[in-house]
């Protein structure tokens, strides 16, 4: 059964420090090491739990004047999860599309200004991309393939509809629909993440 935005209501309540600005990406059948190579990442010290990742992200930002983004990675099933506190690499098409060669790349981003993006790519082809607050304005090679799913999840897809109540939670549910991977509090709190830093372009 497809999850809905309500199933991810815990994210903002339990993890406010990352909920206000983040990028979550899932990549199929590539290891963290392979992704690090594709993104030209620099290895950093592994970190236990999302709180440590958040602290390290902002320390990294201060050390390098915002020129490099910390990316925390872990394997979940056949997918690798990438988490960027206060980042957006996963939805930056100039980096995401080349890195998606031969695989699936599903990413969503939000920042403190309520700007948000959902991006789905397959083998360097953009299948679907939209602003989380304006899901009726979709682009890509398959902009309408997931309309029924998006409506069930909680996206408002007609221009006359009000703004979605929980667009960022809905993005988590849509990513889970595409990947079968559920993001959970236990995953965020209990994982020891492989960490890299990537040059911001």
Going by DSSP bridges, is the β-strand pair 104-110/79-85 parallel, antiparallel, or unpaired? unpaired
Give the DSSP per-residue string, 139-157.
ESS-TTTTHHHHHHHT---
What pLDDT, on the 0 to 100 scale, is given for residue 161? 56
3-state helix, strand, coil in the chain (%, to 5): 35, 30, 35
Q: Which letter does DSSP use for residue 200 in this model?
A: -
Low-confidence ranges of the chain (pLDDT < 70): 1, 159-165
What pLDDT, on the 0 to 100 scale, is given for residue 157? 83
Going by DSSP bridges, is the β-strand pair 192-199/68-76 parallel, antiparallel, or unpaired? antiparallel
What pLDDT, on the 0 to 100 scale, is given for residue 1? 66
Tell me the C-alpha distance between 120 and 118, whole Å.
Answer: 7
What pLDDT, on the 0 to 100 scale, is given for residue 160? 62
> What are the tokens at 82?
């990438």
What pLDDT, on the 0 to 100 scale, is given for residue 63? 82
> How confident is the model over 134-149, as pLDDT tens digits?
999 999 999 999 999 9
Closest alpha carbon to 123 in 139, 147, 150, 141: 141
> How confident is the model over 152-186, as pLDDT tens digits?
999 988 766 555 567 899 999 999 999 999 999 99
Tell me the C-alpha distance between 25 and 35, whole Å.
Answer: 11
């Amino acid at each position: 059964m497809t999850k809905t935005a309500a199933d991810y209501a815990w994210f903002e309540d339990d993890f406010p420090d990352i909920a206000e600005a983040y990028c979550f990406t899932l990549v199929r059948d590539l290891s963290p090491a392979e992704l690090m190579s594709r993104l030209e990442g620099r290895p950093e010290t592994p970190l236990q739990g999302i709180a440590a990742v958040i602290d390290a992200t902002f320390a990294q930002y201060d050390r390098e004047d915002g020129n490099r983004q910390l990316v925390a990675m872990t394997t979940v099933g056949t997918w690798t999860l990438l988490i960027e506190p206060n980042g957006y690499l996963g939805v930056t098409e100039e980096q995401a599309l080349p890195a998606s060669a031969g695989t699936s790349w599903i990413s969503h981003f939000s920042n403190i200004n309520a700007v948000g993006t959902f991006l789905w790519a397959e083998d360097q082809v953009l299948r679907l991309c939209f602003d989380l607050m304006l899901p009726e304005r979709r682009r890509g090679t398959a902009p309408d393939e997931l309309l029924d799913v998006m409506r069930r999840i909680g996206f408002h897809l007609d221009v006359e509809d009000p703004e979605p109540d929980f667009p960022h939670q809905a993005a988590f549910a849509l990513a889970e629909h595409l990947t079968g991977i559920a993001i959970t509090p236990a995953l965020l709190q209990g994982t020891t993440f492989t960490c890299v830093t990537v040059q911001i372009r």
